[in-house]
Amino acid sequence: MNRRQFSLALLASAFVLPLAATHSEAASKKGSFSSHKSYKVRGTATVSGNTIKLSGFSTSPGPDLYVYVGNGSASKRVAKLKRNSGTQTYTLSGADKYSTVHIHCKRFSSTFGTARLK
């Protein structure tokens, strides 16, 4: 392999590797919210890489609602809920390691709804 061929091969690999990484990061998990107690939570949670997206989302109002993630129970706080309805996106490093997304009232320690991700 001459110098020119080597340079072209190196350049080609620079384009192939990022595409492969993007493809694996694009794998996502998704789940529909189910309500707890007398609260109403609807919509879908999708986790892809470090992004949590709530789509078609609505929840009963609460005084101190947050988005949490966990592996069954609400164990890691992500952020204060931006609004009670509509599509919204949150960022959490390692979000794809969790299997559930929760809408949780911090003040009264009560979970309004959970989405189990598959």
- Reading the block at residue 11, the tokens are 């350049």
Query: pLDDT for 40-58, tens place per residue?
Result: 999 999 999 999 999 999 9
Mean pLDDT, range 77-97, rounded to an integer: 98
* pTM exceeding the 0.85 threshold for the entire prediction: no
**Pair 65, 108: CB distance under 8 Å:** no
∠ CA 75-106-62, nearest 5°, is 130
Residue 10: per-residue pLDDT: 52
Instruction: Write down the residue that tokens 């072209």 correspond to.
Output: 8
Euclidean distance between CA atoms 73 and 47, whole angstroms: 16
**Does 13 score more than 80 pLDDT?**
no
Query: pLDDT for 59-80, tens place per residue?
Result: 999 999 999 999 999 999 999 9
Among 117, 106, 98, residue whose Cα is nearest residue 46: 117
**Residue 76 class from Cβ within 10 Å (0-12 exposed, 13-18 middle, 19+ buried)?**
middle
